[in-house]
Amino acid sequence: MTLEELYSKDIIVFECLSGSHAYGLATPESDVDIKGVFILPEDDYLGLNYVEQVSNETNDIVYYELGRFVELLSKSNPNILELLYTPEDSVRKIHPVFEKIRAMNLLSKQCKDSFGGYAMTQVRKAKGLNKKILNPVEKERKGILDFCYVAYRQGSIPVVEFLQINNLDQAKCGLSKIPHMHEMYGLYHGEPTFKGIARKENANEVSLSSVPKGIEPIAMMSFNKSAYSKYCKDYKEYWEWVEKRNDTRYQNTLDHGKNYDAKNMMHTIRLLNMCEEIGKSGILNVRRKDKDYLLRIKRGEFQYNELVQLAETKIDSINEAYENSSLPDQPNFNELNKVLVEIRKGFYSNN
């Protein structure tokens, strides 16, 4: 189902502005995010055409089918709870049947893990970005030879340097594994049957050759396989990140000079603050009273380590708040299921 089909069928029962506009954190550069809930036509729901979600390519516009929406509510999904408790001035459309869910109190101790866990995931993402910014990976990819060394005089030198000194071609070399020595090889040269140290540029392993008896190695070579494997993983992750990153947000990261995604960290602290408020007061405040403080984070006015320390301290406060909270352990699943059935039946009978 496309967005156009969704609109034409007139089955949307709830629609609102979400994200920064709902939080009260929008700036002139902020995107307009729209989220909502729809109820599939009865034949589609009962048949094989069930659709959980409809969105545009950038996920700036997302609508959840009622069943999926309630399922996520039962798990205290942060995005879904924020959608349910959207401030009235951000609500663009609401069908009378949806008021039954809006009237329910669905906050529980489950929010500690859903909000807090999601926030700490964002902290880990921020740490990963921090690492990528401070440790960029050169575009020219290293190969196996860059992780091979030979014993030379009283130390070792890269095998590439050794080959240059002796005017040797790696493709005409042969390797034989030395028993009982981890990633150590005898390095040979000269036989036409030798397969080289690495058969191709992006090989995962060094190449072993059959070495005739009586030939002495010209050197002992080590291959740091674990370092090479880590490099390949880091290279792939880094350049995939470069390809997919949001250049505007990345430039903002560079401009404020703190080497972290300030928008990401702002939402991390926002989630933790909301989580703490739920535990202490049993209220979910989507519209943020700490707007000024959060926007200072977005502008990069804090050091990265300050914010990580704040997040970790906030987690301790959250744990204490939920230990003393009178909230139920989880939403009332039976009541949610009952309301879901009532809404669906009522909607179908009126349509």
Annotated domain spans of the chain: 1-106+331-351, 144-231
Mean pLDDT of 268-296: 94
Which tokens hold the place of 289?
């009273």
Report pLDDT for 263: 82
Rounded to a whole number of angstroms, the CA Rg of the chain reads 29
Mean pLDDT of 309-337: 92
Report pLDDT for 217: 95
Give me the helices (H) in 2-77, please.
Answer: 3-9, 20-23, 42-46, 66-74
CATH topology for the 1-106+331-351 domain: Beta Polymerase; domain 2 (3.30.460)
Model pLDDT for residues 185-198, shown as the tens digit of each residue = 999 998 999 999 99
Model pLDDT for residues 213-250, shown as the tens digit of each residue = 889 999 999 999 999 999 999 899 888 877 776 665 55
Report pLDDT for 177: 94
The one-letter amino acid code at 4 reads E
Measured CA to CA, the distance from residue 108 to residue 33 in angstroms comes to 27
DSSP per position, 128-175: HHHHHHHSPPPSSPP-GGGGEEEEETTEEEEHHHHHHHTT--GGGEEE
Is the pTM above the cut of 0.75? no
Which tokens hold the place of 178?
């030395």
Measured CA to CA, the distance from residue 43 to residue 17 in angstroms comes to 30
Measured CA to CA, the distance from residue 56 to residue 272 in angstroms comes to 29
Report pLDDT for 255: 54
> Sheet of 173-177: strands edge to edge?
155-158, 148-152, 219-223, 184-189, 173-177
Least confident piece of the model among 62-76, 246-260, 267-281: 246-260
